[in-house]
């Protein structure tokens, strides 16, 4: 299953540079990558335009968002990572009150077109 999520970064060049450095190839703490993979998240890509981020995730049948959230709350490494991200990420204005990343709704698929 594909998930598309959005969030903003602080509109600050230094914050954006830090975020990109934290996500550069090989920079992700191993515990964070292991946590993502353990939740049956099979692929994850993040794109940036200005200070807007778009995350595309491909998940398998064993991915359960509530279970992932509970595991994250219990994992000190993930909590520390999320606290770091909280310093530069900004939920979208229309995000749910306790949400960080906001899901996008699909409106077009070439597969549905003649």
Q: For residue 28, what is the domain's CATH number?
A: 3.30.70
pTM of the model: 0.93
Number of domains in the chain: 1
Query: For residue 32, is it within any domain?
Result: yes
Query: For residue 112, is it within any domain?
Result: no
Q: pLDDT tens, 31-55?
A: 999 999 999 999 999 999 999 999 9
Whole-angstrom Cα distance, residue 70 to residue 42? 19
**pLDDT at site 113:** 97
Q: pLDDT tens, 65-91?
A: 999 999 999 999 999 999 999 999 999
Query: For residue 110, is it within any domain?
Result: no
Residue closest to 94 by CA, chosen among 108, 109, 105, 84 = 105
Residue numbers of the domain that contains 77: 2-91
Query: For residue 30, is it within any domain?
Result: yes
Per-residue tokens: 19: 């975020």
**pLDDT at site 98:** 87
């Amino acid at each position: 299953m594909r998930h598309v999520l959005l969030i903003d970064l602080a509109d600050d060049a230094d914050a954006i540079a830090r975020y990109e450095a934290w996500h550069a190839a090989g920079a992700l703490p191993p515990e964070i990558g292991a946590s993502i993979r353990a939740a049956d998240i099979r692929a994850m890509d993040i794109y940036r335009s200005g200070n807007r981020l778009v995350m595309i995730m491909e998940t398998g049948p064993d991915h359960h968002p509530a279970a992932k959230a509970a595991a994250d709350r219990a994992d000190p490494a993930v909590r520390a990572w999320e606290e770091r991200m909280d310093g530069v990420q900004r939920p979208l204005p229309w995000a749910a009150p306790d949400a960080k990343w906001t899901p996008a709704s699909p409106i077009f698929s070439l597969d549905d077109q003649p």
